[in-house]
């Protein structure tokens, strides 16, 4: 009877259901790909609707781009740094959408439209 040996290759990242995991001693999620996809999709939408109303831009980004950023958030345990990165990413798109400068706060945006 012959025995077969199989080598298992070591991976530095593993993609499962669209979530990228990094190899480490604990479970670490790589959000860089998610952030890049979100920024690319939001920039693509915003570049094609330059003359649309601000509310339409907000609707389009929330409908088509926010799910990219928030996919599987309920089941993953993000670090504080990763949550901050996701928040910064969303805030930067809001600033771009409403033609704001980087030093301006987006916290007041819900109150401006009322």
Complete DSSP assignment for 17-54? TTEEEE-SSS-EEE-HHHHHHHHHHHHHHHHH-TTS-H
User: What is the chain's mean pLDDT, rounded?
Assistant: 82
Residues 14-67: pLDDT tens digits? 788 878 887 777 777 888 888 999 999 999 998 998 888 888 988 999 899 999
Please give the helix or strand (H or E) that residue 110 lies within, else none.
helix 109-112
Task: State pTM to two decimals.
Answer: 0.71
The Cα–Cα gap between 85 and 91 comes to 10
The answer to whether the CB of 42 falls within 8 A of the CB of 69 is: no
């Amino acid at each position: 009877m012959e025995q077969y040996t199989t080598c298992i290759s070591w991976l530095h990242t593993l993609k499962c259901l669209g979530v990228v995991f990094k190899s480490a001693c604990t479970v670490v999620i790589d959000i860089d790909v998610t952030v890049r996809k979100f920024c690319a999709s939001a920039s693509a939408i915003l570049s094609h609707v330059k003359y649309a109303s601000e509310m339409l831009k907000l609707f389009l980004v929330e409908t088509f781009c926010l799910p990219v950023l928030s996919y599987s958030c309920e089941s993953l345990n993000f670090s504080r740094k990763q949550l901050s990165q996701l928040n910064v990413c969303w805030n930067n798109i809001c600033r771009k959408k409403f033609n704001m400068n980087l030093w301006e706060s987006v916290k007041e945006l819900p109150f401006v439209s009322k």
